[in-house]
Structure 1
């Protein structure tokens, strides 16, 4: 494999690993928000922002952590057949199916960029009583999709290297 592809895989994998570790902490943020909400409801002061903010934290958690999960092979797959295949056969099937994932992520990124631009241009706000600006969360969503696209390309490069009998790890 050319050196620039090896460098790309190393860079993307290390960046997504660092972002994935940071994203893991968001679960504690979400739990903290929900505990605060529960405590405030018991004293009859229900905050308007807690449920929506917990949803935003959860969304950031799985979209920013998704590329790291892909890197670690932690995504759900149908192991009925896959687990019985050789590493070479797995790489062949992954090279085929990853094309569809790349197309899907391309459309998702295009829609995310369009939606983010709209939110920035028109100061889009949520329709809830709290009415937070939507641009920050849409930026995080789009960034998460972009990271997933980068990680998907990294996985494709690793699969092609595996088919060629090379190792990038």
Structure 2
């Protein structure tokens, strides 16, 4: 395998390992938010922000932990025939399915960036004299709840999570190609 592909796989693995280990601690943030929600409902006035903050923490935990889960092989796999196949047969199957995953993640990343731009109020101006249009930042999108937080931070997390999952999928494809060629990374 070319040296750049080995370096790419190692960098992506190291990056997703670090982000995944960080994402693990978001579960404690979620538990703290839910504990405060229970305490405030019992002894004080209920907090307006706890439900939505818990949802944001759970989304960040799930999305940022996805590439780490994929890297560790802890995702769900239908194992009816797969377990009996040779490593090369598995690599061929995985290479085919990871191409479908890369396409899917590309579409999801596109949608996430579009939604992120919308949350920033990004609008494109009419083309000017040079035929170029420039982005204008308008009103920032807010949640329609009583707490009304800005939505761009969680949409940025979605973009980051889908991008990291896409990188991990490409790293898996490179590993599968190496296995098919009889090499290891």
Which range, TM-score by smaller chain? Answer: over 0.9
Count matched residues.
168
Matches within 5 A, 1:48-63: 48-63=48-63
TM-score for the superposition, normalised by structure 1: 0.97
Aligned-partner SS, 1:77? coil
How many Å separate the matches in 1 of 2:83 and 2:74?
Answer: 14
Matching residue of 1:91: 91
Q: Give the equivalent residue in structure 1 for 2:171.
A: 154
Structure 2 counterparts to residues 1-80 of structure 1, below 5 A: 1-80=1-80
Shift of 1:143: 0.5
> Aligned runs of 1:81-160 on 2, under 5 Å?
81-121=81-121, 122-160=139-177
Unaligned stretches of 5+ in structure 1? none
Three-state SS of the structure 2 residue aligned to 1:83 is helix
Gaps spanning 5+ residues in structure 2: where? 122-138
Show the counterpart of 2:183: 166
Shift of 1:44: 3.7
CA-CA distance at 1:84 after TM superposition: 2.1
Q: TM-score, with normalisation over the residues of structure 2?
A: 0.89
**RMSD, aligned CA:** 0.8
Q: Distance in 1 between matches of 2:172 and 2:99?
A: 11
